[in-house]
Amino acid sequence: DAGVIQSPRHEVTEMGQEVTLRCKPISGHNSLFWYRQTMMRGLELLIYFNNNVPIDDSGMPEDRFSAKMPNASFSTLKIQPSEPRDSAVYFCASNLGDRGLLGELFFGEGSRLTVL
Amino acid sequence: RKEVEQDPGPFNVPEGATVAFNCTYSNSASQSFFWYRQDCRKEPKLLMSVYSSGNEDGRFTAQLNRASQYISLLIRDSKLSDSATYLCVVYLYNQGGKLIFGQGTELSVKP
């Protein structure tokens, strides 16, 4: 079975450019999470969705960040304009919500972003 | 104060040693608890759930102390393959299913 699929795996861009990260959750999963991981701050929850609806976006660092989930099989995380401090690994994860083990998240392989 | 706190380590231990990690959480309404494992430059993966009565999975034992708001993970007879970062995770049911990760504790098992 396909796991969570993220793209791109690696992106190097220049400050001020728009960055779009994409995620395809596991089919049938109804919760989707975006996390950011850095050495300094660890794994931070940015936003999560239940049934395509954003539930909590309090972790989104600032207005430059936005996330959408137009349907059950696709989500995007956009940064515009990007800054060097946005450099991190961005993980997307999904799970069955309250239909499965509540804490079991299935992560994608991550998108490693470098902003120069 | 962070919602979930862990000693970042690194813990450097010889093969066969027993090692314990602790994790504290600040939200007393936290519902469920888990340990994840993350290998270098890989995604985190669920290691085990943590039950109130404590639970064991082979060489791994997880404990929960709700009164003191801490969780522990004990690894017995450590193997080289146990080298990884161990992440403590708290599930907040009253916040719509929010999962908060600790910063992780790095373990390095040496021959």
pLDDT value, residue A1: 64
Q: Nearest-CA neighbor of B22 among B83, B54, B69, B67?
A: B69
* Alpha-carbon gap, residue A31 to A98, rounded angstroms: 9
Q: Which residues contact B12 (CB under 8 A, 6 or more apart)?
A: B108, B110
pLDDT value, residue A3: 94
Tell me phi and psi for residue B82, to 5 degrees. Answer: -80, -10
**Cβ–Cβ gap B46/A103 under 8 Å:** yes
Q: Does B87 touch chain A (CB under 8 A)?
A: yes
pLDDT value, residue A99: 64
Three-class SS state of A93? strand
List residues in chain A touching B: CB distance below 8 A. Answer: 31, 33, 35, 41-45, 48, 50, 55-56, 91, 97-98, 101-105, 107-110
Please name the residue of chain B whose CA is at the shortest distance from the CA of residue A48. Answer: B98
Q: Nearest-CA neighbor of B110 among B78, B74, B67, B66?
A: B78
The answer to whether B41 and B93 have CB atoms below 8 angstroms apart is no
Q: What is the pLDDT of residues B7-49, one digit of tens each?
A: 888 999 999 999 999 999 988 777 789 999 999 989 999 999 9
**Nearest CA distance, A71 vs chain B (angstrom):** 20
Q: Does B39 touch chain A (CB under 8 A)?
A: no
In the structure encoding, which two tokens stand for residue A52, read together?
Answer: 């395509």
Ranges of residues in chain A whose predicted pLDDT is under 50: none
Contacts of A45 in chain B (CB under 8 A): 98-101
**Cβ–Cβ gap A105/B103 under 8 Å:** no
DSSP state of A26: P
pLDDT value, residue A100: 66
The gap between the terminal CA atoms of chain B, to the nearest Å, is 37
| C-alpha pair distances (Å), A83 with each of A6, A33, A64, A67, A88 | 21, 22, 9, 17, 11
**Cβ–Cβ gap B97/A110 under 8 Å:** no
> The dihedral of CA A6, A8, A11, A17: what is its sign?
negative
| Residue B34 CA to its chain's centroid (Å) | 7
pLDDT value, residue B93: 76
pLDDT value, residue B99: 87
pLDDT value, residue A61: 87
Q: What is the pLDDT of residues B54-106, one digit of tens each?
A: 899 999 999 999 888 999 999 999 999 999 999 999 988 777 778 899 999 99
| Residue A38 CA to its chain's centroid (Å) | 14
Which residue of B99, B101, B105 is the best one to mutate when testing the A interface, meaning the one whose CB has the most A CBs within 10 A? B99
